[in-house]
Amino acid sequence: MKFLLLILLFCFLVPTFCLTGKFWQFTDQHYDWIYKYKSEPHSGECRKGEGDAGFYGDYNCDIPWLTVASAIEEMSIIEPNVDFVINSGDTWPHATGSAEEKLQTIANVTNLIRKYFPNTPVFYSPGNHDFEPKHDCAPGANTWLAQMAQAISPILNTEQKKTYLQGGYYSQVIGGIRVVIMNTVLYYRSNKYTSSASGDLSNQYAWITSQIDEAYENDEKVLFVGHVPPGHAERFGFNNFHDQYTDPFMKVFEEHPHKEIILASLYGHLHSDSFRLTENAGPLLLSPSLTPWKNYHSSLGVPNNLGMGRLFSYDKQDQTLLKYEQYYADLQTCNENLKLKWQLEYDSSQEPFYMEDLSLISYEKLYIKMKNDEKMFSDYLNFNILKYKADSCDSDCRTRQFCAIKFLHTDDYDICKIIQDY
């Protein structure tokens, strides 16, 4: 009783402490269970030979278990009292292995989050590498979804499992926020099962619509989570979805009569720190990856440092997303010192962005500032790959960045690139 009174008194004196909720997002672990220290980095994997593969991971490869474990442990040290934790997918490495091992990596990482956050809801949105074969998620109920549901069973309740089995999606309401986990691998550009399909795959559009409807009726706000974001990759220029899905997918949000209750949509996949503007349906926030892996399939491939995680703060009264803190580690220094040093990279409410909150309006303002202020744009580029040595950004690079941020719809993006008007 005394303790409660003390808390009440404390809340009265420092209201932000009690009125601010928090949650973690981390993504794209690409954990390689066969990673070998001092092996020879070879086409994206460090598994054999003698070479200079680092202790905690390598810019040319993925990362060993100890790096994944350390990142999750550190999240629980920096802020254990969060309302939920999001893993937005791609647990599996870029190297190969069996289906059984793939399910083990998903289960092992899920169990580890459970261990460090024993009483916290944990969400997982499936990544393209988490399907077997990779990228290929078949529409509708299928055996792989059932096996994945088994692998993440410690974090999935009976109700959630029902919709997960139908298409890899589910939701939960926490403190007035409806967290809606989507399966956007259905639309992924490399998904062979859906390249020539169309329509509402796995009835996901209808389900998303009903989630916004229900949230509106219950006076909640909606936070979407997915792995592959719609729109284009800001560094590489390609469409993340098969072309036919981008516009219909965006319309599910942008044409909903209650789209104003959408707080934001959180994604991973591109291994980059960026954002996207929508037509009044909340901003899309792209979280950088834990793995430093360089994209070998693109001439514009660059590695990044280790993105530990992103700690969001929100207002518990009206659910406004207030800010996030992005944490990272400089891989080269860590490997040289044989010590993992996680640190704050930046806080969205502080230098250099000074964002008032994470609303769409604040992101629209940031976009304009970045366009007019070279220093602000170069700060963004620096964070885009977690302070890895960024190359200079020529006018094509600049156009790709700004067009991708502003235009999610394919035609608008193509026009933006041609006339370079963003």
Ligand X SMILES: *[C@@H]1O[C@H](CO)[C@@H](O)[C@H](O)[C@H]1NC(C)=O
| Site for ligand X, rule CB under 6 A | 33, 101, 104-105, 108
> Which of 102, 271 has the CB closer to ligand X?
102
What is the distance between the alpha carbons of residues 395 and 130, in angstroms, rounded to a whole number?
36
Least distance CB 210 / ligand X (angstroms): 36
Least distance CB 108 / ligand X (angstroms): 4
> Which of 78, 107 has the CB closer to ligand X?
107
What are 159's two structure tokens? 């109700």
One-letter amino acid at 392 equals S
> Which of 92, 346 has the CB closer to ligand X?
92
Least distance CB 65 / ligand X (angstroms): 7
Least distance CB 143 / ligand X (angstroms): 20
Least distance CB 317 / ligand X (angstroms): 42
Least distance CB 369 / ligand X (angstroms): 44
> Which of 104, 147 has the CB closer to ligand X?
104
Kindly tell me the sign of the dihedral angle through the C-alpha atoms of 137, 142, 143, 147: positive
Q: What one-character-per-residue DSSP string does 60-87 give?
A: TS-B-HHHHHHHHHHHHHH----SEEEE
> Which of 108, 172 has the CB closer to ligand X?
108
Q: What CA–CA distances, in Å, run from 141 to 16, 100, 155?
A: 44, 19, 20
> Which of 100, 219 has the CB closer to ligand X?
100
What is the distance between the alpha carbons of residues 35 and 68, in angstroms, rounded to a whole number?
12
Least distance CB 104 / ligand X (angstroms): 4
Listed as own residue / partner, the contacts of 148-156 with beta carbons closer than 8 Å and 24 or more positions apart are 148/103, 148/106, 150/103, 151/103, 151/104, 151/106, 151/107, 151/110, 152/106, 152/107, 152/110, 152/124, 154/110, 154/111, 154/114, 155/110, 155/113, 155/114, 155/121, 155/122, 155/123, 155/124
> Which of 39, 246 has the CB closer to ligand X?
39
Decide: 40 and 58 in contact? Cβ < 8 Å.
Answer: no
Q: Residue 237: in which H helix or E strand, if any?
A: none
